[in-house]
Structure 1
Amino acid sequence: MLAAMPPSPSIRPLGSAPPLRDRGDACPGALRLHAAADGLLARVRVPAGDLTVRQALALADAAEQLGDGFLSLTSRGNVELRGLPDGCAGRLAGLLDDAGLLPSARHERIRNILASPLAGLDRHTPADVRWWARRLDALLCASESATALSGRFLFVLDDGRGDVAALGGDVSLVAERGGADDGTDGGGGTALLRVGDDPAALRIAAPDAPRAALAAAEAFLTAAEASGSGAWRVRELPEEHALTARDVAGALRATGIAATHVPDGPGAFTATAGPTTGPRGATARADSSAPGVVEGPDGRHALSVLAPLGRLSAAQWRLLTTTAARHGCGELRLTPWRGVVLPGLPAAEAAGRLAALSAAGLITDPSSPWHRLGACTGRPGCAKSRTDVRADLARAVAAGAPVPAGSTAAAPGAPVYWSGCERRCGHPHGTWVDVLATADGYQVSVVRPDASPATQETRPQ
């Protein structure tokens, strides 16, 4: 049976009117907890996905002592704790603060900084944008005006390979010609800055990138106030108040940052399938989200693993932290593909450590049926969901059909995401296969960056 997929609030067709916001966003944080059907939920921002072993262990303690014993990874490289009891807020805040995960109570929800997880770890892109992330986070936490940003406003920092540049940033930076390669002061070279979906960009000096990102965010706040729309994100600004690269160039000049207008948007801001070529001209790894061993330029390797449906038990999480502490460099990097990267392992140990993580139930092989599969929380955790989406997906995987049988929606290489309602919480960016629970079963369509879901087949449950 064929059925039309109606546009939803979470997937707005190109050219439709942006929403009018008459209140602040309700995004949960580490201090603002959300009441879900399975208890309170906390979302801990982890800028650039960077965690020390000590911080990771604090999150495991919080999950075990206060939550349901699991940690959920988000599409922005953050961590969610679920099943928290009433009255736990003070104790949770203390655990996180002691680990250095709450540098500013007033800014904790706006520390949404996504960075290329493999920056500086493989042989393709030597630039390390982690310095940008650390500096930008410090600037955000020191900014009074930044407290007005929505918890949904997103900064994206790409090392030049184009793996995260197309993931829906409100302010996006792409390193070029060396970028931030020395990890201390932003390095040499230049960077490209983009706001929202404006196809144009601004070329700036790489050391200016963090300050430029903050200035662009402040320019958005000015435009949002002038519009009276209450916009939470750049894409929500009314057309007459749209923020463009030229507008941001003026804001940069006011702060002493030189910028050159680049009218034709760089390819790194466009989602691609397969190998990509960043502004430096270096061919990137074919799929930065793929799990496995990442060969580094210095004889050290990194391990990249994925969590099935983004969910990790505290035991799995502790195994990752132990591996990072004993065999790696003592760091973990969370990825927007709901995975974890462990840098700094000796080459001789990488394969054995990866096998141990696989035995613990983590996804370590790109051929796994769980690779590129995602789902919202569904029932019983979410009262708005029509069904237990994750259980339905598990049955579909066991049957060898993660995309419902008979569907014409398959898009080769695209992620598949199952949702329990039209909000589609946590859905991917770019092109993806949308499996939506309806009153009549699951409806399947392909979502593309420039269109609402297409008319596709429906398969009842």
Structure 2
Amino acid sequence: MPAVNTPSFPESPKTAVRPSACPGLLRIVDAMDGGICRVKLAGGSITAAQAQAVADVAQRYGRGVIEATNRGNLQIRGVGAQHRELIEPLLAAGLGPATAASDDVRNLMLSPSAGIDPNRRLDTWPLARRILASLEQTPRFSELSAKFAVQLDGGETLAMLEHPHDLWLSAIELEGQACLAFGLAGCPAHNPALAAVPEAQGHELVMAVLTLFLDLARPDQARMRHLLKEVPAQQFVQRLAERLSVPLIPVAHWQRESSASALHIGTYPQREAGQVYIGAVPPLGRLDASMLSGLAQLVTTYGDGTLRFTPWQSVLLPNLRAEDALAVTQELQALGLMCDAAQPLAHLIACTGSSACVKGLADTKQDALQLASQLTRPLSVHLSGCGRSCAAAHVAPVTLLAVAPGHYDLYLRHAEQPGFGVLHERNLTIEAVSALLDAHQRSNTDD
């Protein structure tokens, strides 16, 4: 992980470092169940000691609830009035930004298996460290929205390719040369690349894109997609080319091949012979303090002392000996995590819901547990308490949008349909949803 300096604490722990409604480490945002403190992790990675620090403060100054987010971060829920007491141990553990103003801009997504994936084209960690350092150390980048995000894809088999990013880069080979294709305001799975640069110019490209965006965007154009409504992507790329030290390389509409699904659940071989990683899913992305503490102990005993949180709201334990996989899996299950892709609950995601969010129209967490108990086969389902879709940055195969307590409209993903997809049924109970989904799966898989 990149070295991080401890920033000076703001005058008031409750004062936002910069205008934003997003939680941060130094900006705790109120919710119905208390404050939310979001801890951004470099590439999703956290050491055992850092994980223990999060568990300790969540237990001591919150309600012990820790969420894995869909961008590979952690957030502590139920934070009480002792903001400074919660934040200072996290800063001391190296979980803070280099400066207080740079906390918001540390938005760089990597594959959870970066560096260890058997099929990677590029170990993205060296470039990621350079990008993260520049994001934190360039004062002007604090002008970026807290939601402005970059993805660096090394060609791993395990990769979230459906989350939209303001800038995404994917490792490719062009005529024997290692390159990085890139796109704007989209994702590698659905949007063709605009051009490419040699791998050595990856950092230069990212810096040029961010600087050009800030030069062109008005204050109300917080995201790349907003700017591209006025400045077409090809025009942006033409202006970008003027700022680079090397010519852009045409890619003839190259598009990333989709990765295999569910590789974040279970045991899989790494690039290094005799080593494996294990992916485990906390129910609906939620851990308690004892669960996170137990994970920290497991990777200290069996692994390299690090954990990697994933965009699937799960966790990866890397660099384990293959002969220890069964013992580690059993201990993970004892902690309450799921390591079997056949478990329906492992594929369900749900927002906070009405139990802790004023906008939630249904108790999505409880309804998801009920749905999981009734499904007969695994299916990726997203339960959203309102139209904001906080729990999922991508469109799930099935989305349940709450309309009232215990009642949902059901959407099925469709390539030609924006938003959640095609509205299939309205105002369904969870029992009706489970019956309909089981019938739909049988009709798609049985002759």
TM-score bin, normalised by smaller chain: 0.7 to 0.9
Provide the secondary structure at the position in 1 that maps to 2:59: helix
The alpha-carbon distance between structure 1 residues 213 and 379, as it changes in their structure 2 partners (threshold 3 A), is same
Residue 165 of structure 1 and its aligned partner are, at CA, apart by 3.4
CA deviation profile, 1:296-352 (whole Å, cap 9, x unmatched) = 232211111112111011111111111111110111111000111111111111121
Indicate which of 375, 383, 397 corresponds to 1:432.
397
Aligned partner of residue 460 in structure 1, secondary structure: strand
Cα distance, 1:249–1:62 mapped onto 2, change above 3 Å:
farther
Structure-2 separation of matches of 1:331 and 1:249? 42
Q: For 1:59-115, what per-residue CA distance to the aligned partner results, in whole angstroms no more than 9, with x for missing partners?
A: 1112111111121011100111110012x2222331121111112211111111111
Q: Does residue 193 of structure 1 match 2:167?
A: no
Counterpart selection for 1:294 from 248, 261, 268: 268
| Residues 205/223 of structure 1: CA separation in 2 closer, same or farther (3 Å cut) | same
Change in CA separation of 1:190 and 1:305 when aligned onto 2, cut-off 3 Å: same
2:215 corresponds to which of 219, 222, 231: 222
User: Structure 1: any 5+ residue segments left out of the alignment?
Assistant: 1-22, 179-187, 277-285, 403-412
Equivalent residue for 1:423? 388
CA, structure 1 residues 421+94, in 2 after alignment: closer, same or farther (shift >3 Å)?
same
For the residues of structure 2 that align with 1:75 and 1:117, how far apart are their CA atoms?
12
For residue 253 of structure 2, what is the aligned residue in structure 1?
264
Q: Distance in 2 between matches of 1:354 and 1:304?
A: 9
Matched, 1:116 2:114: no
Q: Distance in 2 between matches of 1:388 and 1:200?
A: 40
Map of 2:230 onto structure 1: 240
Alpha carbons 1:122, 1:294 under 8 Å: kept: no
Shift of 1:353: 0.5
User: Cα gap change, 1:450/1:68 in structure 2, threshold over 3 Å: closer, same or farther?
Assistant: farther
Unaligned runs of 5+ in 2: 1-17, 430-447
TM-score (norm 1): 0.81
2:195 aligns with: 202
Report the AA paired with residue 176 of structure 1: I
User: 1:151, CA displacement in angstroms?
Assistant: 0.8
Counterpart secondary structure, 1:109: coil
Q: How does 1:8-407 map to 2 (within 5 A)?
A: 25-86=20-81, 88-102=82-96, 103-125=98-120, 127-161=122-156, 163-177=159-173, 189-197=178-186, 199-225=192-218, 230-237=220-227, 239-242=229-232, 244=233, 247-248=236-237, 250-251=239-240, 253-268=242-257, 272=258, 276=259, 286-287=260-261, 289-298=263-272, 299-400=274-375
One-letter amino acid matched to 1:454: V
Q: Which amino acid aligns with 1:356?
A: E
Q: 1:129 to 1:430 in 2, by over 3 A?
A: farther
Structure 1 residue 216: Cα displacement: 1.1
**Corresponding pairs, count:** 400
Which sits farther off after the overlay, 296-305 or 158-167?
158-167
Q: Corresponding residue for 2:440?
A: none
Against the structure 1 CA distance between its residues 447 and 142, is the aligned structure 2 distance closer, same or farther, given a 3 Å change threshold?
Answer: same
CA distance in 1, matches of 2:415, 2:146: 22
- Amino acid across the alignment from 2:345: W
Q: Which letter does structure 2 place at the counterpart of 1:442?
A: Y
Cα separation, 2, equivalents of 1:25 and 1:199: 31
Is the CA contact (8 Å cut-off) linking 2:180 and 2:199 kept in structure 1? yes
User: Which residue identity does 2:80 align to in structure 1?
Assistant: P
Aligned-partner Cα distance in 2 for 1:401–1:328: 34
Percent of aligned pairs sharing the same letter = 30
Q: CA 1:238/1:139 → structure 2, altered by over 3 Å: closer, same or farther?
A: closer
Indicate if the aligned counterparts of 2:362 and 2:404 stay in contact, CA closer than 8 A: no
Report which of the two has the higher share of helix.
2
Cα deviation for residue 431 of structure 1 reads 4.5
Per-residue deviation, residues 33-71 of structure 1 (Å, max 9, x unmatched) = 111001111111112101112221111112111111121
Q: Compute the RMSD of aligned alpha carbons.
A: 2.3
Letter in 2 for 1:223: L
Q: Which moved more, 1:110-119 or 1:423-432?
A: 423-432
* SS of residue paired to 2:230: helix
SS across alignment from 1:92 = helix
Does the CA-based 8 Å contact 1:445-1:454 persist in structure 2? yes
Q: Is the 8 A contact 1:156 1:164 kept in 2?
A: no
Change in 2 beyond 3 A, CA 1:140/1:216: same
CA contact (8 A) 2:164 2:393 kept: no
| CA–CA separation in structure 2 for the residues paired with 1:288 and 1:146 | 35
Q: TM-score, normalised by structure 2?
A: 0.83
